[in-house]
C-alpha cells in the first residue's frame, strides 16, 4: 500500500494558536506568505482540509496566480489541484464555496455520510464511501492508488494535523509563525494532546517571508538519528509486503525491495526469486529493471525488507556492492541479516563505509520476518540467502 507525500501547512501565532475566538478569521500571514502558500498549492496534486475547517472558514482552496495555473496546464496538469475533504458524518453545507469553485473535488466519508449527502452536492463532486468508519490510511491509499495523488498539501485544521502526525502519516510540516500573540485559552491550537511518535523532528529550513518566519520540519526515525519520514515507513512496508510474494523456499529468505527516486517516484520493485530465478535477490532484481545510467539513481533510496547482503556464493557481487555501484547512497531496511551460513553478514557496514546513509527501522522487523517464519523456528535448518 502506498500513500502520497503528505505536507502539513499552517500559520500559527507565537503562542501556538491557529485563530482567535472572534467571529472573523484571524489573518496570521501577510501578502508574501499568502503568495508562498499559493506556490505550494500549485506544486501539489491535491489540497485537503477537514470538515471543521470547511464549516468555519468556508475556504475555496484555489491557486490564485494566473501564471501558476498556466504553468500547470502547460505541464499537462489540471488547472487546479484536486480539492479533498473528509467527514465521517457528512454534515456539510452543500452551498459552501469549496464545492462551487476550482476544479475536481472529492469527499471521503462513511456509508452513512454518503447517504446523507446523496443528491445534495454538485455533480462534479466525487463522494467516496469507505464503510462504517473513515480511516486516514484508507483515505491516503485511495488518493495515491486510485486518484494518482503523489503530493498532498494538508491545510487544516488542527484536528486533522494532529491525527496525521500522531499516526505517523506526515512527511513534512511547514509552519509560518506570525509575530503576534492570541492569548485565549479556548482558541484553536495547531496540535492537540495525544501520543505522538517519539523522537525529535528535524529542522530542514528557516526563512523569513514578509513579517513571518517559515519553519520546515520532517520526522526522524526513533533511535537512529537518521532522517526518516512517513514515506520511508510506507515504502518499507511495501517492501515487506513484496517479500510475501516470493516463491517459498527452505534454503533462502523471502525479501522485497523498492527503489524510489528523491521526488517520491517509484522506479522499480522486485522480490527474491522473481521470474523463476532461484537465486536472484530482491535488490538485484529491482536494480536490473533500471538503466544503469539513470540519473535518478544518485538521489534514490533502496527500501529492502532485509539488510542487503555483504557476501554471497551465487553471484559475483553482493547486493550491497550492486547498490553502491548503481550510485545509490541511501538504504532503508527493517531487519538485520542473521548469522547463518555467512557469519557476521554486515551489509549495512559495507554501505556505510562507502558513504551511504543507512536507516534501520526495527518496528517493521516482524513484518519482514513473517514470510520467513518457517525458517526461523527452533527446529528449522539454518536459512540463507543464496
Block means of pLDDT (10 residues each) for the chain, 386 residues, are 83 93 90 95 95 92 96 94 96 96 96 95 95 94 92 92 88 93 92 78 87 87 55 90 92 93 90 94 97 94 94 88 96 82 69 86 89 70 42
> What was the pLDDT predicted at 224?
44
281 within some domain = yes
CATH number at residue 21: 3.40.430.10
Q: Specify burial of residue 213 (Cβ count, 10 A radius: 0-12, 13-18, 19+).
A: middle
Residues 168 and 248 in one domain: no
Length, in residues, of the chain: 386
Residues 65 and 112 in one domain: yes
Provide φ and ψ at 7, rounded to 5°.
-110, 120
CB atoms within 10 A of CB 23: 5
147 within some domain = yes
Closest CA to 254 of 268, 241, 272: 272
CATH number at residue 314: 3.40.140.10
Which range marks the domain in which residue 355 is found? 230-376
3-state helix, strand, coil in the chain (%, to 5): 30, 20, 50
Name the domain boundary from 190, 218, 246.
Answer: 218
> What was the pLDDT predicted at 377?
63
Give me the DSSP letters along 221-257. Answer: -TTT-SB--HHHHHHHHHHHHHHTTSPP-SSS---EE
Q: Mean pLDDT score of the chain, rounded to an integer?
A: 89
**Strand ranges (E), the chain:** 5-12, 46-50, 82-86, 105-109, 125-129, 151-154, 172-177, 202-209, 212-218, 256-260, 266-271, 301-304, 330-333, 357-360
> What was the pLDDT predicted at 344?
54
Q: Are 12 and 174 in contact (CB under 8 A)?
A: no
73 within some domain = yes
Amino acid at each position: 500500500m502506498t500513500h502520497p507525500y503528505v505536507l502539513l501547512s499552517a500559520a500559527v501565532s507565537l503562542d501556538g494558536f491557529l485563530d482567535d475566538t472572534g467571529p472573523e478569521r484571524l489573518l496570521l500571514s501577510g501578502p508574501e506568505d499568502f503568495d508562498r502558500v499559493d506556490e505550494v498549492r500549485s506544486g501539489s496534486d491535491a489540497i485537503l482540509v477537514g470538515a471543521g475547517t470547511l464549516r468555519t472558514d468556508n475556504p475555496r482552496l484555489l491557486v490564485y496566480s494566473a501564471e501558476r495555473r498556466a504553468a500547470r496546464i502547460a505541464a499537462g496538469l489540471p488547472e487546479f489541484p484536486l480539492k479533498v475533504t473528509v467527514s465521517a458524518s457528512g454534515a456539510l453545507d452543500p452551498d459552501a464555496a469549496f464545492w462551487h469553485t476550482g476544479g475536481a473535488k472529492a469527499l471521503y466519508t462513511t456509508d452513512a455520510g454518503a447517504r446523507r449527502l446523496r443528491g445534495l452536492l454538485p455533480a462534479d463532486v466525487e463522494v467516496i464511501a469507505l464503510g462504517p468508519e473513515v480511516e486516514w490510511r484508507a483515505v491516503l491509499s485511495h488518493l495515491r492508488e486510485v486518484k494518482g495523488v503523489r503530493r498532498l498539501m494538508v491545510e487544516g485544521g488542527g484536528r486533522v494535523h494532529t491525527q496525521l502526525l500522531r499516526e505517523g502519516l506526515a512527511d513534512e510540516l511547514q509552519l509560518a509563525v506570525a509575530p503576534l500573540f492570541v492569548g485565549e485559552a479556548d482558541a484553536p491550537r495547531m496540535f492537540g494532546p495525544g501520543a505522538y511518535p517519539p523522537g525529535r523532528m528535524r529542522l530542514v529550513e528557516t526563512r523569513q517571508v514578509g513579517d513571518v518566519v517559515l519553519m520546515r520540519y520532517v520526522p526522524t526515525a526513533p533511535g537512529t538519528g537518521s532522517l526518516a519520514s512517513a514515506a520511508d515507513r510506507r515504502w518499507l512496508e511495501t517492501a515487506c509486503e513484496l517479500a510475501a510474494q516470493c516463491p517459498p523456499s527452505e534454503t533462502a529468505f523471502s525479501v522485497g525491495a523498492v527503489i524510489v527516486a528523491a521526488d517520491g517516484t517509484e522506479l522499480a520493485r522486485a522480490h527474491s526469486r522473481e521470474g523463476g530465478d532461484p537465486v536472484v535477490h530482491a535488490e538485484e532484481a529491482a536494480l536490473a529493471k533500471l538503466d544503469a545510467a539513470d540519473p535518478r539513481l544518485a538521489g534514490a533510496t533502496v527500501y529492502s525488507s532485509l539488510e542487503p547482503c555483504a557476501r554471497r556464493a551465487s553471484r559475483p557481487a553482493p547486493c550491497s556492492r550492486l547498490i553502491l555501484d548503481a550510485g545509490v547512497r541511501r538504504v532503508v531496511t527493517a531487519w538485520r541479516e542473521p548469522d547463518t551460513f555467512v557469519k557476521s553478514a554486515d551489509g549495512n557496514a559495507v554501505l556505510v563505509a562507502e558513504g551511504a546513509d543507512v536507516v534501520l527501522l526495527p518496528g517493521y522487523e516482524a513484518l519482514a520476518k513473517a514470510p520467513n517464519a518457517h525458517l526461523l523456528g527452533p527446529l528449522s535448518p539454518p536459512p540463507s540467502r543464496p
